[in-house]
Amino acid sequence: MIKLTRLNGQELVINAEMIERMEAKPDTIITLTTGEQYIVQDSVDQIIAKVTHYKQEINLPQKNQP
């Protein structure tokens, strides 16, 4: 899950695995695999960085596991 900001300033949390595409027109429009669309303040580059960080975090080995 990644945190984004709607145009009105409200925080939005999106499942990064569900992002199908993003467009900058000039606001960023995110389309999910379900067809739902969200317009956010975050730039495409910022969202890519958040998704990359999220994917790195979920692939790190868990502490205290054998």
Q: Which of 13-22, 27-36, 43-52, 54-63 has the lowest mean pLDDT?
A: 54-63
| Biggest distance spanned by C-alpha atoms of the chain | 48
Q: Which residues contact 51 (CB under 8 A, 6 or more apart)?
A: 2, 16, 19
Q: Average model confidence (pLDDT) for the chain?
A: 92
pTM value is 0.84
Residue ranges per domain, the chain?
2-58
Angstrom distance (rounded) from CA 49 to CA 28: 14
Express as a percent the part of the chain with pLDDT over 70.
91
* Average pLDDT value for residue range 3-32: 96
Whether 31 has a pLDDT exceeding 90, the answer reads yes
Instruction: Provide the pLDDT for residue 58.
Output: 86
